[in-house]
Amino acid sequence: MSGWLRIYREGQEDAYIADFLVEKARRGFYPAAQKPVLEISGRGKQTTDAYEIPRGLYRIDATVQGVAFILRVVTLEGDCEDDTLFNEIDLNSRTLSISNLFVSSGCSVIFETDNVTGSWKIEFRDMLDEEFLSESLLEIEDGTSISGKARSVTMITSLPRGVWNISAKVNDNSFILVPQVARGNCSGFSVFNELDFGTSRLDVSSVYRSAGCLIIWDVYNVEGSWEITFKKLR
């Protein structure tokens, strides 16, 4: 809301009035105090040591000094999939701060970095840590919205049993939304996989059936701001 702010200059008794704008801050996706269960750092192109990753669901946060970064995971033992976790480039930034999800069935893995010359650090946080789950869990109700900008991994959400209409307003011409199911028997297929070169703004909706699940919403292939809204149909 708009208002007025009385400002005093140092050494003066008289004040002047200035306009100010107050904007409600968005809720953070994760508890700021949650410590990583694993940290790996290095510089440039490297192959890491082997790490044992216990069964679970992890958020990987990467901080990179540079405009590009590739991170691959290669499984040595266990049933985890070899995968490219990051393949990022942003020519408008000197530092990348990016996140992704990693599901482990209990594996021994190594990580490979590429397309980077500066220093980098990757941190693993347990998304199902009960101590922090209660702080970050968002109970979705009829009309709940989640908003963000560019590539994002949301907080864990609890989506009650039922049929839901999920709508998305996106300030971009492409948008992918994938439900990463942490608990429960819900579909993990893309809710949205949109690309329209003829527009700069998307307004789309889709129906999603929930069996009552804990879900993290994985947002990518977008650079602009976005908002997803949940409407219960049944």
- Whether residues 117 and 165 share a domain: the answer is no
User: What is the domain-level CATH number for residue 147?
Assistant: 2.60.120.380
- Whether residues 141 and 227 share a domain: the answer is yes
CB atoms near residue 19 (< 10 Å):
8
- Whether residues 44 and 93 share a domain: the answer is yes
- Whether residues 155 and 201 share a domain: the answer is yes
Q: For residue 55, give its domain range.
A: 38-126
- Whether residues 109 and 175 share a domain: the answer is no
DSSP state of 128: T
The answer to the question of residue 6 being in a domain is: no
The answer to the question of residue 131 being in a domain is: no
Nearest CA to 118 out of 65, 41, 70, 39 is that of: 65
The answer to the question of residue 43 being in a domain is: yes
Return the structure tokens found at 111. 């990580």
The answer to the question of residue 171 being in a domain is: yes
- Whether residues 150 and 116 share a domain: the answer is no
CB atoms near residue 215 (< 10 Å):
24
Contact (CB, 8 A) for 99 and 153: yes
Among 92, 126, 160, where does a domain finish? 126
Among 75, 107, 126, where does a domain finish? 126
Give the number of domains in the chain.
2
pLDDT tens digits for the chain (234 residues)? 333 333 333 454 544 333 333 332 334 566 667 899 999 999 999 999 999 999 999 999 999 999 999 999 999 999 999 999 999 998 888 999 988 999 899 999 999 999 999 999 999 999 888 888 888 899 999 999 999 988 888 989 999 999 999 999 999 999 999 999 999 999 999 999 999 999 999 999 999 999 999 999 999 899 899 999 999 999
Among 104, 126, 148, where does a domain finish? 126
- Whether residues 120 and 190 share a domain: the answer is no
The answer to the question of residue 199 being in a domain is: yes
The answer to the question of residue 31 being in a domain is: no
**What is the rounded CA–CA span in Å between residue 63 and residue 96?**
6
Beta-bridged to residue 27, according to DSSP, are none
The answer to the question of residue 8 being in a domain is: no
Distance of alpha carbon 182 from the chain centroid: 14
Whole-structure pTM value: 0.76
The answer to the question of residue 1 being in a domain is: no
**What is the rounded CA–CA span in Å between residue 50 and residue 41?**
14
Contact (CB, 8 A) for 180 and 198: no
Nearest CA to 120 out of 98, 92, 90, 152 is that of: 98
- Whether residues 214 and 186 share a domain: the answer is yes
- Whether residues 148 and 211 share a domain: the answer is yes
Edge to edge, the sheet with strand 162-170 lists: 145-149, 225-232, 162-170, 202-210
pLDDT at 32: 64
pLDDT at 132: 83
- Whether residues 141 and 122 share a domain: the answer is no
